[in-house]
C-alpha cells in the first residue's frame, strides 16, 4: 500500500545533493527491523557477481539493526517492491536548528544525592550547590544514667564530583529556621529559598576524595548536641512530630569564597547522618552508645532538596529570563549550552525533515544519526566532558513531556565518540530513527522538539558547550540513510 505524503508548504527546500546506489531486482527481507536483514537474489537476476560482492556488505552495513535503531515502520517486500529498483540515499544537508532554553526551575527533592560545593565557570559563572534536609532520631529513649560525649556529622561520598578536587572545600553546617515544606505542590526545586539561624553548628574544610575516600566525620557544636541529648533523655521529645517542631533540619552550605568542586554525598539511611555519642558508666567499664539523626522518611514529601544557582557570565545566556525563550545558536556565536542543575538545555529541531518527500518514490528511514561537536577549549580535566546525555521531548512552551525512548523501554542517548580524539575530532552521536519517522508521519505541526540533558539532571551540575548552527565546519549534522523503492521514474 502506498503511503500518503503529508502536505507541506515548503517548496524546493531539499537542495542538498545525495549519493545513491541502484540495485536491480533485489528483495530486502526486513520485517519490522527486528532482525539482521537478509538479501535474497531472485532466479532471474542478471547482476554481475563482482558488483553484488561490493554492494552486499555495504547494504548490510546500512541496514544493520540494534536496540538504538529500532524502526516501528513495517517495511515488507511485496510484488511492487520486487519489481522495482532500490536506492540507498545518504543525506547530510537537512537543516538542524539548535538553541538554548532554561527551565524556570528544576525538581531537586527527588535527587539521588546531596550536592555541596562551589566553583567558578568561564561560561556559567559561580556555580553553587547547597543541600537541605529534615532529620529525625533513630530512637527516643536514652538511659537516665547516660552521659553525653559528643556529636558528629557523617557524610558518605557517593562518587560524584564536578570540577577541581585538588582544591580544599569548606562546608558550613547551618540549622534551618523553619520546617522544610514546599511552598506549593509536593516538590522542592533548585530555586527554593530557606532561612537559617545565624550561628553555625559547625564549619569544616576538607580535601575532596570522592572516589578514594569513604566518609567524612566532622565534630559539631557540643551545646547543640547536649540540648538534643537532654530533651531525649528527659522524655521532653518522644516522637517524630515533637522532634520536627523542635528541630527543623540542617543545611550544608559551601564556603562563600570557595572555588574548587561540587561533591556528591549519599542520602541513603545509614550512609549520611548526625550521630550523638554517649556512655553509661558501669563498675568496671564504660558502655558506649549512640543515637542517630537521619533523613526524615516519615514526611511526604521527604524534606530534602539541593539548591543550585549560578551567576551567569556571558551575555547571551542572560536573555533566558523565561522558560519559553529560545536562544538560537546563531545569536550565541554558533554555540548552544547545557547546565543540568540549572535546567539549561540544548534544544534541537528539524524544520526541513519533510522535504525528504521531494525525493520521488516510496521510502523509509533506515538510519538517522545526529552528530554534535563540543566546542574546542570549552572542556578540560576539571570541566569534564561527560560521555553521554539523555534526550527529552518538550512541547511548544518548552515543558518536558517525556523522555525519548524506543519501544517504551530503551532510552535514546547521546554517546561521545572518542575514536579520533588524538586528532581533536570528537562528537556526540544520537540515533533518531524512530523520532524522525514519527515527525514524517505527523499530519500537522505539534511544536514539539527534543532537548539534550543528563538523565539525572536534578542530581548533577554537568555542563556542555556545543557547536550549533553558524560555526562553519563544526555545525551539527544530521546524517540520514534513506531507502527508496517503487521509484516513480521507472
Burial (Cβ within 10 Å: 0-12, 13-18, ≥19) of residue 286: exposed
User: What confidence score (pLDDT) does residue 247 get?
Assistant: 97
Mean pLDDT of 61-71: 44
Least confident of 65-69, 137-141, 245-249, 255-259: 65-69
| pLDDT confidence tier of residue 6, bands split at 50, 70 and 90 | very low
| CA neighbor of 235 nearest in space, from 134, 297, 143 | 143
Q: Which three cell numbers stand for residue 345?
A: 538545555
Q: What is the pTM of this model?
A: 0.81
Number of CB atoms found within 10 A of residue 55's CB: 17
CA dihedral 461, 464, 469, 475 (to 10 degrees): -160
Highest-pLDDT range among 72-76, 358-362, 429-433, 454-458: 429-433
Asked if the model's pLDDT at residue 63 lies above 60, the reply is: no
Q: Please give the mean pLDDT across all residues of the chain.
A: 84
For the four alpha carbons of 25, 26, 31 and 32, in that order, the dihedral sign comes to negative
Angle at 199 between CA 114 and CA 216, to 5 degrees: 35
| pLDDT confidence tier of residue 485, bands split at 50, 70 and 90 | confident
Amino acid at each position: 500500500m502506498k503511503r500518503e505524503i503529508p502536505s507541506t508548504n515548503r517548496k524546493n527546500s531539499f537542495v542538498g545533493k545525495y549519493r545513491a546506489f541502484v540495485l536491480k531486482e533485489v528483495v530486502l527481507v526486513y520485517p519490522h527491523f527486528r532482525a539482521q536483514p537478509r538479501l535474497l537474489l531472485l532466479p532471474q537476476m542478471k547482476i554481475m557477481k563482482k558488483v553484488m560482492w561490493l554492494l552486499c556488505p555495504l547494504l548490510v552495513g546500512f541496514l544493520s539493526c540494534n536496540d538504538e535503531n529500532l524502526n516501528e515502520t513495517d517495511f515488507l517486500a511485496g510484488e511492487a517492491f520486487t519489481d522495482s529498483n532500490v536506492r540507498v540515499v545518504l543525506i547530510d544537508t537537512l537543516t538542524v536548528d539548535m538553541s538554548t532554553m532554561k527551565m524556570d526551575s528544576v525538581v531537586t527533592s527527588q535527587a539521588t544525592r546531596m550536592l555541596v560545593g562551589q566553583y567558578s565557570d568561564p561560561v556559567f559563572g559561580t556555580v553553587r550547590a547547597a543541600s537541605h534536609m529534615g532529620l529525625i532520631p533513630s530512637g527516643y529513649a536514652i538511659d537516665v544514667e547516660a552521659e553525653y560525649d559528643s556529636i558528629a556529622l557523617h557524610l558518605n561520598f557517593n562518587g560524584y564530583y564536578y570540577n577541581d578536587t585538588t582544591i580544599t572545600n569548606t562546608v558550613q553546617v547551618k540549622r534551618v529556621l523553619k520546617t522544610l515544606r514546599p511552598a506549593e505542590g509536593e516538590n522542592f526545586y533548585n530555586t527554593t529559598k530557606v532561612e537559617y539561624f545565624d550561628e553555625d553548628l559547625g564549619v569544616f574544610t576538607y580535601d575532596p576524595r570522592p572516589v578514594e575516600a569513604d566518609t567524612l566525620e566532622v565534630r559539631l557544636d557540643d551545646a547543640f548536641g547536649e540540648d538534643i541529648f537532654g530533651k531525649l533523655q528527659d522524655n521532653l521529645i518522644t516522637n517524630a512530630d515533637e522532634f520536627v517542631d523542635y528541630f527543623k533540619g540542617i543545611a550544608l552550605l559551601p564556603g562563600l569564597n570557595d572555588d574548587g568542586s561540587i561533591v556528591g554525598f549519599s542520602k541513603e539511611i545509614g550512609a549520611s547522618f548526625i550521630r550523638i555519642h554517649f556512655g553509661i558508666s558501669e563498675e568496671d567499664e564504660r558502655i558506649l552508645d549512640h543515637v542517630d539523626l537521619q533523613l526524615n522518611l516519615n514526611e511526604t514529601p521527604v524534606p530534602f532538596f539541593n539548591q543550585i544557582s549560578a551567576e551567569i557570565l556571558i551575555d547571551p545566556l542572560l536573555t533566558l529570563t523565561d522558560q519559553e525563550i529560545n536562544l538560537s545558536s546563531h545569536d550565541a556565536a554558533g554555540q548552544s549550552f547545557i547546565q543540568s542543575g540549572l535546567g539549561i538545555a540544548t534544544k534541537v529541531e528539524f524544520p526541513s525533515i519533510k522535504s525528504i518527500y521531494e525525493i520521488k518514490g516510496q521510502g523509509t528511514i533506515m538510519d538517522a544519526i545526529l552528530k554534535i561537536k563540543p566546542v574546542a577549549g570549552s572542556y578540560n580535566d576539571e570541566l569534564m566532558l561527560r560521555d553521554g546525555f539523555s534526550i527529552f521531548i518538550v512541547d511548544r512552551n518548552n515543558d518536558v513531556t517525556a523522555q525519548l525512548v524506543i519501544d517504551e523501554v530503551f532510552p535514546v542517548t547521546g554517546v561521545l565518540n572518542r575514536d579520533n580524539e588524538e586528532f581533536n575530532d570528537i562528537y556526540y552521536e544520537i540515533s533518531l530513527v524512530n523520532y524522525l519517522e514519527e515527525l514524517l508521519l505527523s499530519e500537522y505541526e505539534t511544536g514539539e522538539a527534543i532537548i539534550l540533558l543528563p538523565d539525572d539532571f536534578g542530581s548533577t551540575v554537568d555542563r556542555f558547550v556545543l557547536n550549533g548552527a553558524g560555526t562553519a565546519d563544526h555545525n551539527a549534522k544530521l546524517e540520514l540513510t534513506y531507502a527508496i523503492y517503487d521509484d516513480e521514474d521507472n
